Chain A
Amino acid sequence: MPLLSHVAKSGVALGFILALFLGFQASEGSAPLKPAVGWQLDPVHSFGLFRVQHMNAGMFWGRFNDVTGTISHHEDGSMPPQLNVRCMVESIDTGSEKLDRTMLGPKWFNGKEHEAMTFVSTSGEKIDATHWTLKGDLTIAGISREVEVITELTGIGGGPQGRKIGFECTVEINRNAFGIRILRGAIGDTVRLVVGLEGDEIKAE
């Protein structure tokens, strides 16, 4: 009898442990992912910078001031962020009004025919907790090319007005691939784009 009781107790304990383990496994496997949060880009705190070599000498920086769009991001980092960014080319700011006009001309950004540059991410690969390589379609002057953008989550914060998220995206492109082929030799082929994004959380209605 004591033996039977001992076996029964051991069985119950084993069953309990097994049930706990299985239950834990089940809860881990079927737990719903934290849904992605949507963010609306804040045009005041978002911008695009471009850098290109001038006359084989210095690196010239210019800026696009009007950047809008949306971000979708899983805060647990389980999925790469999704970016949909639109940058109005007429907001170009090189520090020189004359140069701005030239760069809006038909052989540069062609602002009259293509008012915006866009980037829409399609997939991504995690590098570490705050960095991803995002693949997506970059469209400049009406020509789309797939590019890989190094994207850094710079922070999630905010204030009384609501939560904010920040990303910084960097990509190097060959301007010739986008049909901007003017002044080759004088102006470098490789253009670095650095885009600073800040988004406000889109609250569900």
Chain B
Amino acid sequence: MLAELLVPIFLPGIAFLAILLVLKPEHRERWSGLVGGGVLPLATLVGFGFEGAWPSSFSDWHRLPLILGGVGLLSAGLCWLPSGVRRWFAPLGLGALAGVLGEFPDMNRSDQCLLGLSVVVSVKWWMLASEATLGRLVGLGAWVSCVALAPMALDGGFTTLMILSASGATVAGALVLAPRSLAAGGGGSMLLGVMIPLLAWCGFSYDYAEAPWWQWAGVAGLPVAIIVFFDPVSVAEGQARGPWISGLMRALFVVLLTGWLLQPTLDSLVAPADDPYGSY
């Protein structure tokens, strides 16, 4: 049963990292979106295979890996556009794709518009963040977000989304580990910009733990917290405090923020085990 969990989480991420490392660094920006877009569909397929549980009918959540696969393809095309055009065309195009196809349970047209809008804002943010000189912190922000979404999905009764969120964390991890794969406005940043809000919207739609919308939005918005690292506090001349203290305090802030957002979920998950299935 452990293999059913670990293989879909890690195998696609490891494959993604291997492909990124094989690519020349200057090509990673262009192809990271396309290759990464295949990771969650692959994780889904591997999960089905390991469970021996191929779906006999289409379910709304199947749209999630399908949209991400589509985003991968679209991002590869968008990367050929001039950066000035891509800067606006990519958020709008990807937002439209997610908004039109992202039809999860209990969602009406206005919810889909909101989903599309959140993807537009998110992609724009990721493209700006990847242009800023934050280095690998950008990918780490995505990693924190995906890791935090996984227990929320589990608590809500959606174990498959937990696996997909954890797979998303391996995607972010691979983008961190392979230099230049999150280069300014590249495919990797487009992919993260769609993947994180989409995971959160899907989880919110299927959630039986009834976590409030702001908790899902807050966890999806956690990468924004990396802006605290952006403008380092200037150390007064002659002051003994080293820059590492400043970095540590900011990291502590992000950890505390994440802990605060996840507290209701963690409280629920660590409640006395009364699960007769042993579940996952």
Contacts and interface: CB of A to CB of B under 8 A. Distances in A.
B105 A112 contact: yes
A96 interface: yes
Interface residues of B, number: 31
B204 to A, nearest CB: 11
A102 B60 CA distance: 17
A100 to B, nearest CB: 8
A111 interface: yes
A179 interface: yes
Contacts of B267: none
Q: Number of contact residues on A: which range applies?
A: 20 to 34
Contact of B57 (A55, A102, A143): A143
B151 to A, nearest CB: 13
Interface in B130-162: 155-160
Interface in A42-63: 54-55, 60
Nearest to A52: B277
A183 B105 CA distance: 24
Contacts, number: 83
B276 A111 contact: no
A15 interface: no
Interface stretch (B46-54, B187-195, B213-221, B226-234): B46-54
Given A106-B158, A181-B52, A54 B276 contact: yes
Given A101-B208, A113-B105, A106 B59 contact: yes
B157 A102 contact: yes
B236 interface: no
Contacts of B54: 181
Contacts of B61: 106
Interface string A182-198: 11101100000000000
Nearest to B269: A98
Contacts of A55: 278
Nearest to A186: B1
Interface in B1-50: 1
Main secondary structure of the interface of B (DSSP, over half): loop
B56 A143 contact: yes
Interface in B83-123: 105-106
Interface in B148-206: 155-160, 205-206
B279 interface: yes
Contacts of B209: 101
25 contacts: A94-B276, A96-B276, A98-B271, A98-B275, A99-B274, A101-B208, A102-B277, A105-B156, A105-B159, A106-B59, A106-B60, A106-B158, A106-B160, A107-B53, A110-B59, A111-B208, A112-B60, A112-B106, A113-B105, A142-B57, A143-B57, A181-B52, A181-B56, A183-B51, A184-B51
Given A95-B276, A143-B56, 7 more contacts: A99-B275, A104-B157, A111-B208, A112-B60, A112-B106, A142-B57, A181-B56
Interface of B: 1, 51-57, 59-61, 105-106, 155-160, 205-206, 208-209, 268, 271, 274-279
